Amino acid sequence: VLKFLKSFSYGEKYVFRNHFFSDLKCIIFHSYMSLLNTFWTTLYIWLRPLVKWILRRTTRLCELQRICYGEEKGALRTLQIEYSLSNTRTPELKKAVHVLNNKAKDKTITQDIVYYAVFAIVRIKNINIKIHKRFPEMLGGCIMRIWGYRQMLSRLEDLRTTAYDSNNSEHEEKLLKLWSCLQPKITLEGRISKQWQEIGFQGNDPATDFRGMGMLGLENLLYFAETHPNAAQHVLLRSQHPVYGYSFAIVGINISHTAYMLAQEGLAKTHFYNSSKGFPDQNAFHQFFCYLFFEFDVLWRHEKPKDIMEFNHVKSKFEKNIRAKLKDPMALFKCHFVLENI
């Protein structure tokens, strides 16, 4: 190390020393903040039962009631209810949560199951619903969003892991429908054709491009083309720009992966909890994808990339922006598309 440092000139040593101490300060600061955060989190977890007991005695309300009455409908309320139920120490409540988790995994959550879950919680917490008439409905709405979201994730995973099969007539029908929705005035000459490259697939057979996201990638694209035809064709035309063009279908599949990861990580909960009146479902996820794809196109054109090689840089910036927005508990993405110039 000393020989390495001696090989530096005076100016290089000065720059090296400054960078070294600057990085060291950053490491110390982040370590301190991490330690402090761990301390407060541990303290909160340790004191939480005592705080809950004191509040229960003083307000005559359980934690679930305090959240429902004190927070606005949507993500603010639902996220806190989710945290409370997930961290409960009551054996009967733990059992109820376990049952709901299994039902969501099996994709069998229904309104009846939500009703019975609310009834069980009211009984366990000894809540008088004649006095607290609004509570069952408020809690039921939160449970529908929480476990509806988890059920949606299970269904998305099934789609993602279902590989496109050219021998499956349903898969083939959806693929051909994607073409007719995006290119309604142009007849596809054949199932294997260079024409697929016109809508952004890599080769003559688009089946090979769905490997990463399976049928979820295709269903996202088809939903966009069917439900928002003007917006989808607008994005397709912009993707064919001679200077700022990109592969529409391939980028769409990439955005599908981004949407899927945001949902799996739980960061997208704020949007789904704010936008869903009942169970978040597959169509809700498709809408989320449509919003992301359209917004990516807007950013791509705004960035004016030199070529497609800048895709990763723009996509990284796009994901950073979306993640920042989703951290806001009031986040809600609406598909109100403003069609700009091609």
In this prediction, what percent of the chain has a pLDDT beyond 90?
A: 76
- Model pTM score: 0.84
- Mean pLDDT score of the chain, rounded to an integer? 88
The Cβ-side half-sphere exposure at 155, using a 13 Å CA radius, reads 20
Identify the band that residue 18 occupies on the pLDDT scale cut at 50, 70 and 90. Answer: low
pLDDT in tens, 269-307: 999 999 998 999 999 999 999 999 999 999 999 999 988
| Encoded amino acid at 330, one letter | M
pLDDT in tens, 34-65: 666 676 556 555 566 666 657 656 777 889 99
pLDDT in tens, 147-162: 999 999 999 999 999 9
Rg of the chain over all Cα atoms, to the nearest angstrom: 26
pLDDT in tens, 223-266: 999 999 999 999 999 999 999 999 999 999 999 999 999 999 99
Q: Which residues of 238-251 are buried (b: 16+ CB within 10 A; e: fewer)?
A: bbbeeebbbbbbbb
Query: At residue 329, does pLDDT exceed 60?
Result: yes
Angle at 273 between CA 213 and CA 77, to 5 degrees: 150
Residue 200 is classified by DSSP as T
pLDDT for res 283: 95
State the Cα torsion 213-214-220-221 to the nearest 10°: 100
Number of CB atoms found within 10 A of residue 46's CB: 9
Cα 270 to Cα 332: distance, rounded to the nearest angstrom: 7
